[in-house]
Amino acid sequence: MAVKIIEEVKDMLPKGSEISNISFEGANIVLYTNNKEFFLDNKGVIRGIVGNIKKRVELRADPAMPLTIEKAEAEIRKIVPEGAGELNIIFDPQRSQVVIEAEKPGVAIGKAGETLKEIKKKTFWVPLVKRIPSIRSKLIENIRQVLYQNDDYRKKFLNKIGERIYGPKRKQGKTSWSRVNFLGASRQVGRSCFLLETDESKVLMDCGINVAAKDEDQYPYLSELNIEELDAVVLSHAHLDHCGLIPLLFKYGYRGPVYCTAPTRDVAALLCLDLIGISQKEAKKALYGSVDIKEMVKHTVILNYEEVTDIAPDIRLTFYNAGHTLGSSLCHFHIGEGLHNFLYSGDFNYETSNLLAPANTKYPRLETLMMEGTYGSKDDVLATRHESEDYLLGIIRSTIERGGKVLMPVLGVGRSQEVLVIVERAIREGKIPNIPVFVQGMVWDVTAIHTAYPDFFNNKVRQAIFHRNENPFLSKIFKHVGSQKEMKQVLEETGPCIILATSGMMTGGSSVEYFKNLAENNKNSLILTSYQGEGSLGRRLQQGEKEIMFTEGSKQVPLKVKMDIYSIHGFTGHSDRNQLMNFVKHLNPKPRKVIVVHGEQSKVLDLASSIHKAHRIETIAPKNLETIRLV
Ligand SMILES: [Zn+2]
């Protein structure tokens, strides 16, 4: 396909650069050369082109040029210093790239990238370095395998995205309007799904499932969506109420890109696999299969924070740290060359947590903000993290003293890892006795993913890991529980301990299994730390229900709840009311309009009216199926 931008790039190339091919990788432009000297030293030509067209441009060797895989691998192993630890070397011959997975990526890269330069010079492959997670997880390895095994497909797929972005527009002329359709999570929490539309493009923001709801209330209004017209899916973060139905889009035939950060991709795949696993256990029909999750992984395009990229002919996306979970993002959309700037907050925390930095408030431009309002009402002022920590440690201490076990139902991602960090520190500092902390299946895998992306932690945690070699997640007190047999051992053969298990709202998963075994003993404690959706078992326990009916075989069996039930809200990954208000106050620049979603009706209405009063700007809390025009 003749695309204008490629012709422009060709015109900027000097004679003798021997470019054999120019293709797209998403919004990036990749040049392949047959000229060895030009490949090793292009004398600023590429920088000049980048400056000119303001797009990312990369130069690689024509696939015929590099050393054979065997020779290159031997050479790379010779060049990379031993201090880099174990290496996995994976070649992508289609793209003349080699991925070097190392235990210590910094060592593999070398001072100012000198090792990489050496590899390039000796082998003509372009090296990319990734971190081998300190905790091994079969699932992460599988995810990486899916990507490596589909190199060929990915090359074509990424080129197709570029052709759409830079190719002829569907509509001639400038983008003149833009609107958001609310397909879920409006005046409610759960099933987040919003369609950002212009006269040229359609972008879906999140596509989640509300696991606490019943039947069709679980799903967003997907029938309003024409999957074939979608240009992109943008995923703010890996929680099921935001990512849980993306594989369903692939089941229905979507084959376009899913933009997210690397940790979000990995955790989202895990959560979706876990979701279909739970359906299977409950003998319910799963919504989609693992093949659909694989398709999702195959079609993800990874972005780092603050990396600007075109995702449609008239839409540019930038992710910013949201402080909610590892890799969670506020999504900034620059629409139609300055026509409008729209920020979708996803879920965010405007506070420094034990793991993450607070949500970003500074943007190049901003006209409309669409924000969450989970804790948006005036009484949603939560205890501080410090108070919550003391409260948590107090409950753990008294439960241990009476010989009981502490069960903490957690969302696989976010709070679980924060709780691990808090408990590890408390034990190290002698604030609570040294007891084992059992980490059930999925929580362990998510923790393993955390060890693969330490760059996403806040400064303090990063310093500890990189400069003092203290990685809290590698502590010996954490024990992985994988099988039913191991779970039985925890319940029957172990004394006081802490158990972290999913799901956080106790809508299924091992947290419910543990609960059934622990509930009738008054020595034990249950600590709820995440948001409890209406109708969930967690919410019912919070409201004080003391008898719960469970289906066993064909009959209903009552369970008497005698264990202590506690709720700690301060560990939430969401901003509380004050933080929501402060976030808006500190936004720079100030938005002209604020749309509040992702909160129960009374809360989003309260927040919208308070923001209006405080800032004299237009605010609105739309209902599902409504549409709001931005321009
Ligand atoms: Zn979330």
The confidence score (pLDDT) of residue 463 equals 92
Q: Which residue has the tokens 């990512």?
A: 243
Give distance in angstroms: CA of 355 to centre of ligand 1. Answer: 15
Does residue 389 share a domain with residue 375?
Answer: no
Given a cut of 60, is residue 1 above it in pLDDT?
no
Q: Is 375 helix (H, G, I), strand (E, B) or coil?
A: coil
Give distance in angstroms: CA of 359 to centre of ligand 1. Answer: 13
- Domain range holding 602? 169-379+574-629
Give distance in angstroms: CA of 59 to centre of ligand 1. Answer: 38
Give distance in angstroms: CA of 491 to centre of ligand 1. Answer: 30
The confidence score (pLDDT) of residue 318 equals 98
Distance from C-alpha of 179 to C-alpha of 177, rounded to nearest angstrom: 7
Give distance in angstroms: CA of 63 to centre of ligand 1. Answer: 42
Give distance in angstroms: CA of 331 to centre of ligand 1. Answer: 14
Token duo for residue 429: 């500092």
The confidence score (pLDDT) of residue 480 equals 92
Q: Is residue 72 within 8 Å of residue 81, measured between CB atoms?
A: no
| Amino acid at the residue 623 | K
The confidence score (pLDDT) of residue 50 equals 96
The confidence score (pLDDT) of residue 508 equals 84
Least confident of 144-148, 227-231, 361-365, 380-384: 144-148
Distance from C-alpha of 621 to C-alpha of 631, rounded to nearest angstrom: 18
Least confident of 91-105, 111-125, 461-475, 539-553: 461-475
Q: Which residue has the tokens 């000229």?
A: 35
**Cβ within 8 Å of residue 467, ≥6 positions away:** none
Does residue 506 share a domain with residue 430?
Answer: yes
Does residue 320 share a domain with residue 290?
Answer: yes
| pLDDT (average), residues 210-236 | 93
Give distance in angstroms: CA of 237 to centre of ligand 1. Answer: 7
Does residue 79 share a domain with residue 52?
Answer: no
Give distance in angstroms: CA of 313 to centre of ligand 1. Answer: 29
- The answer to whether residue 609 sits within a structural domain is yes
Residue 45's CATH number: 3.30.300.230
Give distance in angstroms: CA of 143 to centre of ligand 1. Answer: 22
At 509, the pLDDT band (50, 70, 90 cuts) reads confident
Give distance in angstroms: CA of 414 to centre of ligand 1. Answer: 9
Given a cut of 90, is residue 605 above it in pLDDT?
yes
Give distance in angstroms: CA of 260 to centre of ligand 1. Answer: 14
Give distance in angstroms: CA of 346 to centre of ligand 1. Answer: 7
Give distance in angstroms: CA of 492 to centre of ligand 1. Answer: 34
Token duo for residue 54: 């303001």
Give distance in angstroms: CA of 630 to centre of ligand 1. Answer: 25
Does residue 580 share a domain with residue 560?
Answer: no
Give distance in angstroms: CA of 28 to centre of ligand 1. Answer: 30
Distance from C-alpha of 366 to C-alpha of 349, rounded to nearest angstrom: 19
For the chain, helix, strand, coil in percent to 5 are 40, 25, 40
Give distance in angstroms: CA of 205 to centre of ligand 1. Answer: 13
Does residue 236 share a domain with residue 104?
Answer: no
Give distance in angstroms: CA of 418 to centre of ligand 1. Answer: 14
Handedness of CA 101, 272, 195, 151 (dihedral sign): positive
- The answer to whether residue 328 sits within a structural domain is yes
- The answer to whether residue 148 sits within a structural domain is no
Distance from C-alpha of 166 to C-alpha of 313, rounded to nearest angstrom: 6
At 284, the pLDDT band (50, 70, 90 cuts) reads confident
Does residue 374 share a domain with residue 270?
Answer: yes
The confidence score (pLDDT) of residue 154 equals 94
| pLDDT (average), residues 189-209 | 97
Does residue 26 share a domain with residue 92?
Answer: no
* Residue ending a domain, choose from 567, 598, 617: 567
Starting at the edge strand found earlier in the chain, the sheet holding 28-33 runs 19-25, 28-33, 57-61
Give distance in angstroms: CA of 530 to centre of ligand 1. Answer: 10
Give distance in angstroms: CA of 239 to centre of ligand 1. Answer: 5
pLDDT digits (tens, 9 = 90+) for 304-341: 999 999 999 999 999 999 999 999 999 999 999 899 99
At 576, the pLDDT band (50, 70, 90 cuts) reads very high
Give distance in angstroms: CA of 199 to centre of ligand 1. Answer: 30
Give distance in angstroms: CA of 532 to centre of ligand 1. Answer: 12
Give distance in angstroms: CA of 502 to centre of ligand 1. Answer: 15
The confidence score (pLDDT) of residue 2 equals 64
Give distance in angstroms: CA of 100 to centre of ligand 1. Answer: 32
Give the DSSP H or E segment for 514. helix 510-518
At 608, the pLDDT band (50, 70, 90 cuts) reads very high
Give distance in angstroms: CA of 417 to centre of ligand 1. Answer: 14
Give distance in angstroms: CA of 328 to centre of ligand 1. Answer: 8
Does residue 601 share a domain with residue 487?
Answer: no
- The answer to whether residue 582 sits within a structural domain is yes
Handedness of CA 191, 264, 60, 310 (dihedral sign): positive
Give distance in angstroms: CA of 238 to centre of ligand 1. Answer: 7
Give distance in angstroms: CA of 540 to centre of ligand 1. Answer: 21
Could you tell me what percent of the chain has a pLDDT over 70?
A: 100
Give distance in angstroms: CA of 387 to centre of ligand 1. Answer: 23
Give distance in angstroms: CA of 471 to centre of ligand 1. Answer: 25
Residue 414's CATH number: 3.40.50.10890
Q: Is residue 92 within 8 Å of residue 55, measured between CB atoms?
A: no
Given a cut of 80, is residue 283 above it in pLDDT?
no
Q: Where would I find the beta strands (DSSP E) of 199-281? A: 202-207, 232-234, 258-260
- The answer to whether residue 140 sits within a structural domain is no
The confidence score (pLDDT) of residue 145 equals 86
Q: What is the pTM of this model?
A: 0.91
Does residue 556 share a domain with residue 583?
Answer: no
Give distance in angstroms: CA of 242 to centre of ligand 1. Answer: 7
Between the alpha carbon of residue 246 and those of residues 29, 288, 289, 302, 554, the distances in Å are: 27, 10, 12, 16, 34
- Kindly report the three-state secondary structure assignment for every residue of 62-80: CCCCCCCHHHHHHHHHHHC
- The answer to whether residue 52 sits within a structural domain is yes
Given a cut of 80, is residue 137 above it in pLDDT?
no
- The answer to whether residue 150 sits within a structural domain is no
Given a cut of 90, is residue 151 above it in pLDDT?
no
Does residue 214 share a domain with residue 103?
Answer: no
The confidence score (pLDDT) of residue 553 equals 83
| pLDDT (average), residues 354-360 | 96
Distance from C-alpha of 227 to C-alpha of 61, rounded to nearest angstrom: 37
Measured in degrees and rounded to the nearest 5, phi and psi for residue 421 equal -65, -40
Give distance in angstroms: CA of 327 to centre of ligand 1. Answer: 11
Give distance in angstroms: CA of 450 to centre of ligand 1. Answer: 16
Least confident of 30-39, 280-289, 421-430, 562-571: 280-289
- The answer to whether residue 144 sits within a structural domain is no
Give distance in angstroms: CA of 498 to centre of ligand 1. Answer: 24
The confidence score (pLDDT) of residue 522 equals 96
**Cβ within 8 Å of residue 90, ≥6 positions away:** 98, 99, 101, 148
Give distance in angstroms: CA of 278 to centre of ligand 1. Answer: 20
Give distance in angstroms: CA of 243 to centre of ligand 1. Answer: 9
pLDDT digits (tens, 9 = 90+) for 432-489: 999 999 998 788 888 999 998 999 999 999 998 888 888 899 999 999 998 899 999 9
Given a cut of 60, is residue 515 above it in pLDDT?
yes
Give distance in angstroms: CA of 333 to centre of ligand 1. Answer: 20
* Residue ending a domain, choose from 113, 132, 151: 132
Give distance in angstroms: CA of 586 to centre of ligand 1. Answer: 22
Q: Please classify residue 70 by burial: count the beta carbons closer than 10 Å to its beta carbon, then call 0-12 exposed, 13-18 middle and 19+ buried.
A: exposed
Q: Is 57 helix (H, G, I), strand (E, B) or coil?
A: strand
The DSSP line for 422-446 is HHHHHHHTTSS----EEEEHHHHHH
Least confident of 19-23, 194-198, 416-420: 416-420
Give distance in angstroms: CA of 51 to centre of ligand 1. Answer: 38
pLDDT digits (tens, 9 = 90+) for 370-425: 999 999 999 999 888 899 999 999 999 999 999 999 999 998 777 889 999 999 99
Give distance in angstroms: CA of 358 to centre of ligand 1. Answer: 15
Q: Write down the mean pLDDT value for the chain.
A: 94
Distance from C-alpha of 407 to C-alpha of 586, rounded to nearest angstrom: 38
Given a cut of 90, is residue 571 above it in pLDDT?
no
At 46, the pLDDT band (50, 70, 90 cuts) reads very high
Given a cut of 60, is residue 124 above it in pLDDT?
yes
Given a cut of 70, is residue 528 above it in pLDDT?
yes
How many domains does the chain divide into?
A: 4
Between the alpha carbon of residue 228 and those of residues 192, 199, 220, 241, 250, the distances in Å are: 20, 16, 18, 23, 11
Give distance in angstroms: CA of 244 to centre of ligand 1. Answer: 11
Residue 281's CATH number: 3.60.15.10
Does residue 519 share a domain with residue 595?
Answer: no
Q: Is 158 helix (H, G, I), strand (E, B) or coil?
A: helix
